[in-house]
């Protein structure tokens, strides 16, 4: 086993990290011109057996199980064209559009291991077979967006922060991001507690 330290990796989606490459693959397909999730008839997902075992909820009953579900990760991303906290709601997980795509999802397990991280196989892949017979293929995905070898852009990192902060109930997520972005210049850390406070409450103690 050989682990290569590349730098900082950012977990881009609020889902089990073993699903991030197939989420990227699904989002790539969803962004193709003319793609419509309603036209998908079969989804084929190829990923590592260990990855699948860590996200093994075949029929997630709630958002927590959906976070650890290969069968939700790809259908959810295809249906919404996104993979954030907005998709981790019971209404979305149980929606007819997502359930139909989960029923159409078929998993092929890969047993090779990546030399840098044995939890993963060298690459994952997603293919969507459409109603007209065409196949949309993501191609092999070897690193998730956010991996140190495929870093997110500053704009993507900002969107990730804002999605998390908004989900956490912070009052002004844009101002909080900008404050943290200039962390080295903060004269009084109590300003963070004030800025992070949700309406009518607080995230951190603002006492001296």
Do the beta carbons of residue 105 and residue 3 sit within 8 Å?
no
Higher pLDDT, 193 or 176: 176
Higher pLDDT, 9 or 95: 95
Tell me which DSSP letter residue 182 carries.
Answer: T
Confidence bin at 200 (pLDDT 50/70/90): low
Q: How many percent of the chain have pLDDT more than 90?
A: 69
Do the beta carbons of residue 59 and residue 93 sit within 8 Å?
no
Q: What is the pTM of this model?
A: 0.86
Report the length, in residues, of the chain: 208
Closest among 106, 101, 118, 129 to 48, alpha carbons compared? 118
Note the pLDDT tens digit of each residue in 81-110. 999 999 999 999 999 999 999 999 999 999
Give the C-alpha separation, 13 to 58, whole Å: 19
Contacts of 148 (CB under 8 A, 6+ apart): 6, 7, 8, 9
End-to-end CA distance of the chain: 48
Superfamily of domain 17-137: 2-methylcitrate dehydratase PrpD (3.30.1330.120)
Sorted by where each begins, the domain ranges of the chain are 17-137, 154-196
Confidence bin at 186 (pLDDT 50/70/90): confident
């Amino acid at each position: 086993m050989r682990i290569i330290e590349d730098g900082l990796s950012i977990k881009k989606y609020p889902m089990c990290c073993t699903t991030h490459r197939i989420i990227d693959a699904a989002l790539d397909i969803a962004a193709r011109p003319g793609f419509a999730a309603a036209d998908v008839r079969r989804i084929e997902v190829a990923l590592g057996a260990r990855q699948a075992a860590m996200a093994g909820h075949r029929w997630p009953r709630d958002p927590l199980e959906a976070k650890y579900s290969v069968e939700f990760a790809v259908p959810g991303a295809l249906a919404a064209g996104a993979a954030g906290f907005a998709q981790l709601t019971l209404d979305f997980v149980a929606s007819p559009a997502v359930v139909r795509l989960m029923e159409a999802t078929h998993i092929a397990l890969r047993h090779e291991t990546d030399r840098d991280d044995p939890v993963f196989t060298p690459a994952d892949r997603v293919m969507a077979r459409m109603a007209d017979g065409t196949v949309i293929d993501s191609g092999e995905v070897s690193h998730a967006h956010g991996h140190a070898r495929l870093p997110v852009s500053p704009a993507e990192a900002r969107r990730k922060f804002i999605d998390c902060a908004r989900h956490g109930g912070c009052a002004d997520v844009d101002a909080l991001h900008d404050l943290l972005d200039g962390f080295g210049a903060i004269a009084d850390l109590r300003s963070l507690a004030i800025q992070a406070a949700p309406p009518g409450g607080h995230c951190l103690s603002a006492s001296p």
